[in-house]
Amino acid sequence: MRSDATFIGVEVDDAAAADAAVAAKLTEVCPVDIFGQAASGTLELHEQNLDECVLCRLCMDAAPGRVRVLKLYDGGAEL
């Protein structure tokens, strides 16, 4: 799954997004509430918060290789 705002895009691989344990971890670590969980436990991306990303990499540490933070203000460069 992927969601783009003005400055930041976030992409999470579909298997990770469907995994309730991964979704819970991402929801817990992001300081600006970009991730959440649907009632079924699957991951949700809060599009309205994407541009608040502080580039802390905590999501990438929580799910190595499964989350990409894209700097749309820098040609889509990966964090």
Q: Is 76 one of the binding residues for ligand SF4 (CB under 6 A)?
A: no
Question: Binders of ligand SF4 among 17-46, rule CB under 6 A?
Answer: 29-32, 34
CA separation for the pair 77, 17 (Å, rounded): 22
Residues 23, 27, 32, 38, CA torsion sign: positive
With CB under 6 A as the contact rule, the residue among 18, 24, 56, 72 that binds ligand SF4 is 56
Indicate the residue among 19 and 35 with the shorter CB distance to ligand SF4: 35
- Residue 69 half-sphere exposure toward CB, CA atoms < 13 A: 21
Interacting residue ranges for ligand SF4, rule: CB under 6 A: 10, 29-32, 34, 53-59, 69
